[in-house]
């Protein structure tokens, strides 16, 4: 046989092998489509034994590898198919899919773009391109790719879910919600889309729906760490009990540093600081560069009073991430606790340079500036108090916020935003506002318990409870924003004795009750608060610490402790042999009209930083506030909100008990030593 004959024979054999390989592929495809993957794979391999570079056999064998989760093999098989025949767009698209599954996002992007160059539109390739771009954090480009997929195929549910997820990351929650709901209507099993929808609902302020959606996702897939972590974070943000969900996170993924960080935050919210510190340390051991866990650890150390360790930890976080605004803010807070106000203010300002949206730093800088007497600058920063998350969300209003402009024929709504004591303090500005002539009608929304007092004290204003429904107004303003417009200097505070007016009939009744106690000084006391947190604990006391005042002869001590504490009072009466007067028919929590009348009949109130002292100051009753100076003093030695109030600060090196002893000495001096 000559050379030409041999060539002809070989060509015939190759053609025959190719035909037989093609026939085998044709036999395997129905098996493949029927889901009989093992049988189909065996036949594809037979085809490749006859024709090792048969592109369809290589490609389809790679697809079976994808379907069975063997993505490394899939990349190898489909890569050979692409090398054998580079003009088939499906080969490139499926290679991109397998590469993305292996986390090789940049290579997946290249393969997906090759598919789209060969065929456009190609919705599946565009969707895979979006996935590869998402994995690289290029969310805007990913959104465009998913949109291309949906323009090519409007009912493409996977692309809907993916587009919704990336829009959630881009902080476009309204658009994201629409796509995610459409996707879930078609693909209810897409737990990742349900998690994204839950986060979107939270971003839209619909916390109840968001948490319910995340719980649904966990019910679908109880081992889904992302769903558990998102739910725990959501519950934690609203101050709810997130510990059970965080526990689930660390059970599901014990090596997940973010899970341990969340577990620490859950303990911190419950003031379980040792447990919180242990969780944060575990997170740092798992991920030494997790600066969130480091700064959280430093914050807990500060709350434990371990200021030196806290400073070291925060500085370590900043070495790792010099532009980390939260760490700058936490370091500044630690400096403030250490008594270094100058460094603290610099630190808060650095945090804001790193991130102008770091509202917690701005809020803390506001309190620091106000405490140092920088009133105008402090009130400017205080405007960020709602964004900081320290006070809850700002109540949505349809009317604009008042900027101080004249509204001669208009209606201004001012509304209480914080607790009872804050309403009494900021409310001290309301008489000036009502008399200023700036507004046609002043509407005041306050705690329902204060309505009677406010109506008597502000006769030209419409006083109402927030629960009475929406009211039309030309502008609105929360109470805490009034000082920025009316009290930018200490000189702006008037020297009037008090602004609240008690009910005259109730006042006469309580004066009779107090007269029945007999001669002597009538002193009301309040020694603690219902809400004692780690940050505030040093400002409060136990009744037993009030022994110097309780043993004053010829003085009648009246309890203004609104939460009762009968057992503590009974123990003190027995121990010190002196009565502490209270009346079972007076509910000092609910009946503030009667409580105000009682306080107005006293000679003196001595109180820690709590609402009974604020009420006494608002009534113009002499009140001594025991404890250290805080931001509400505005850099002064006493609190300008209440001219009848005096601050009794602890002696140098002394605790709050020294304030009580100083108060006792002052009372004795005022009475000429007769007590």
The yes-or-no verdict on residue 325 having pLDDT over 50 is yes
pLDDT value at position 622?
Answer: 96
Residues 499-525: pLDDT tens digits? 999 999 999 999 999 999 999 999 999
375-382 and 359-371 helices cross at what angle (nearest 10)?
Answer: 150
What's the mean pLDDT in 336-340?
A: 88
DSSP 394: P
Would residue 104 be called left, alpha or beta, if left means φ above 0 and alpha means ψ between -120 and 50 degrees? beta
Answer whether 243's CB lies under 8 Å from 231's CB: no
CA pseudo-torsion sign 195, 200, 202, 206:
negative
What's the mean pLDDT in 624-641?
A: 93
What's the mean pLDDT in 312-336?
A: 95
Residues 581-615: pLDDT tens digits? 999 999 999 999 999 999 999 999 999 999 999 99
User: Does residue 121 have a cis peptide bond before it, meaning omega lies within 30 degrees of 0?
Assistant: yes
Residues 183-230: pLDDT tens digits? 999 999 999 999 999 989 988 888 889 888 988 887 888 767 777 777
- Residue 589 CB neighbour total at 10 angstroms: 14
DSSP 450: G
pLDDT value at position 8?
Answer: 41
From 17-26, 83-92, 285-294, 309-318, the region with the lowest mean pLDDT? 17-26
**Token digits of residue 424:** 């009494």
- If one compares 239 and 597, the residue with the highest pLDDT of the two is 597
What's the mean pLDDT in 281-286?
A: 91
**Token digits of residue 611:** 């609402």
pLDDT value at position 5?
Answer: 44
How would you write 186-248 as a 3-class SS string?
HCCCCHHHHHHHHHHHHHCCCHHHHHHHHHHHHHHCCCCHHHHHHHHHHHHHCCCCCHHHHHH
From 130-139, 264-273, 511-520, the region with the lowest mean pLDDT? 264-273
pLDDT value at position 223?
Answer: 67
pLDDT value at position 221?
Answer: 80
pLDDT value at position 370?
Answer: 96
What's the mean pLDDT in 24-41?
A: 90
* DSSP-assigned letters across all residues of 511-538: HHHHHTT-SSEEEEEE---S---TTTGG
pTM for this model (two decimals): 0.69
Share of the chain above pLDDT 90, in %: 66
pLDDT value at position 10?
Answer: 43
Where residue 21 falls among pLDDT bands split at 50, 70, 90? confident
pLDDT value at position 9?
Answer: 41
pLDDT value at position 603?
Answer: 96
- If one compares 531 and 549, the residue with the highest pLDDT of the two is 549
Would residue 615 be called left, alpha or beta, if left means φ above 0 and alpha means ψ between -120 and 50 degrees? alpha
Where residue 255 falls among pLDDT bands split at 50, 70, 90? low
Give the closest residue to 194 by CA, choosing from 223, 214, 221, 178.
214
pLDDT value at position 12?
Answer: 44
Segment holding 594, helix H or strand E: helix 592-600
Query: Domains plus CATH for the chain?
Result: 15-190 (1.25.40.10), 407-488 (3.40.50), 504-670 (3.40.50.2000)
Cα end-to-end span (Å), the chain: 136
Distance CA 122, CA 378 (A): 58
Share of the chain above pLDDT 70, in %: 92
Distance CA 625, CA 27 (A): 92
* DSSP 3-state of 477: strand
Mean pLDDT score of the chain, rounded to an integer? Answer: 89
Distance CA 470, CA 74 (A): 62
The yes-or-no verdict on residue 673 having pLDDT over 60 is no
pLDDT value at position 534?
Answer: 57
The yes-or-no verdict on residue 114 having pLDDT over 90 is yes
Residues 437-458: pLDDT tens digits? 889 999 999 999 999 999 999 9
């Amino acid at each position: 046989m000559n050379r030409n004959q041999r060539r002809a024979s070989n060509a015939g054999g190759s053609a025959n092998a190719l035909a037989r390989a093609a026939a085998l592929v044709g036999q395997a495809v129905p098996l493949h489509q029927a889901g009989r993957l093992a049988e189909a794979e065996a036949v594809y391999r037979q085809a490749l034994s006859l024709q090792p570079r048969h592109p369809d056999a290589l490609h389809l064998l790679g697809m079976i590898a994808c379907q069975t989760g063997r993505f490394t093999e899939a990349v190898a098989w489909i890569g050979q198919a692409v090398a054998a025949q580079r003009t088939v767009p499906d080969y490139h698209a499926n290679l991109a899919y397998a590469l993305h599954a292996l986390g090789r996002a940049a290579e997946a992007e290249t393969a997906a773009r090759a598919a789209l160059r060969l065929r456009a539109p190609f919705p599946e390739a565009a969707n895979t391109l979006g996935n590869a771009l998402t994995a690289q954090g290029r969310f805007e480009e990913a959104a465009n790719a998913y949109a291309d997929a949906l323009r090519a195929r409007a009912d493409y549910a996977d692309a809907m879910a993916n587009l919704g997820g990336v829009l959630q990351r881009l902080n476009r929650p309204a658009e994201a919600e629409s796509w995610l709901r459409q996707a879930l209507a078609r693909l209810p099993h897409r737990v990742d889309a349900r998690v994204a929808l839950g986060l979107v609902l939270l971003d839209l302020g619909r916390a109840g729906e968001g948490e319910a959606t995340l719980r649904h996702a966990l019910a679908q897939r109880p081992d889904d760490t992302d769903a558990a972590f998102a739910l725990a974070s959501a519950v934690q943000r609203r101050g709810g009990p997130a510990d059970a969900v965080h526990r689930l996170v660390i059970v599901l993924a014990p090596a997940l540093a973010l899970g341990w960080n969340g577990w620490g935050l859950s303990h911190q919210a419950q003031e379980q600081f040792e447990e919180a510190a242990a969780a944060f340390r575990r997170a740092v051991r798992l991920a030494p560069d997790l600066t969130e866990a480091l700064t959280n650890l430093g914050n807990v150390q500060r709350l434990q009073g371990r200021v030196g360790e806290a400073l070291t930890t925060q500085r370590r976080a900043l070495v790792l991430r010099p532009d980390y605004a939260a760490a700058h803010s936490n370091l500044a807070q630690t400096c403030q606790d250490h008594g270094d106000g100058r460094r603290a203010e610099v630190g808060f300002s650095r945090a804001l340079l790193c991130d102008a949206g770091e509202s917690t730093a701005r809020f803390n800088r506001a309190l620091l500036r106000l405490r140092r007497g920088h009133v105008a600058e402090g009130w400017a920063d205080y405007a960020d108090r709602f964004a900081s998350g320290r006070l809850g969300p700002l109540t949505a209003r349809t009317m604009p916020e008042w900027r101080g402009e004249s509204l001669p024929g208009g209606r201004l709504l001012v509304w209480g935003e914080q607790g009872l004591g804050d309403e009494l303090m900021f409310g001290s500005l309301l008489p000036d506002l009502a008399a200023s002539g700036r507004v046609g009608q002043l509407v005041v929304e306050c705690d329902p318990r204060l309505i009677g007092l406010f109506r008597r004290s502000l006769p030209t204003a419409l006083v109402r409870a927030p629960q009475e429904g929406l009211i039309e107004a030309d502008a609105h303003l929360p109470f805490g924003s009034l000082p920025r417009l009316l009290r930018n200097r200490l000189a702006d505070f008037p020297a009037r004795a008090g602004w609240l007016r008690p009910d005259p009939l109730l006042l006469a009744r309580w004066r009779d009750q107090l007269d029945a106690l007999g001669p002597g000084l009538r002193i009301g006391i309040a020694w603690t608060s219902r809400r004692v947190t780690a940050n505030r604990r040093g400002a409060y006391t136990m009744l037993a610490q009030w022994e110097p005042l309780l043993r004053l002869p010829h003085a009648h001590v009246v309890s203004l402790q609104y939460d009762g504490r009968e057992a503590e009072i009974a123990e003190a009466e027995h121990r010190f042999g002196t009565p502490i007067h209270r009346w079972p028919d007076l509910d000092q929590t609910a009946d503030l009209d009667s409580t105000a009348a009682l306080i107005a009949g006293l000679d003196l109130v001595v109180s820690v930083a709590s609402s009974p002292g604020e009420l006494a100051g608002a009534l113009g009753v002499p009140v001594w506030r025991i404890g250290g100076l805080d931001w509400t003093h505005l850099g002064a030695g006493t609190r300008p909100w209440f001219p009848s109030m005096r601050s009794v600060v602890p002696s140098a090196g002394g605790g709050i008990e020294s304030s009580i002893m100083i108060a006792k000495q002052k009372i004795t001096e005022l009475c000429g030593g007769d007590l």
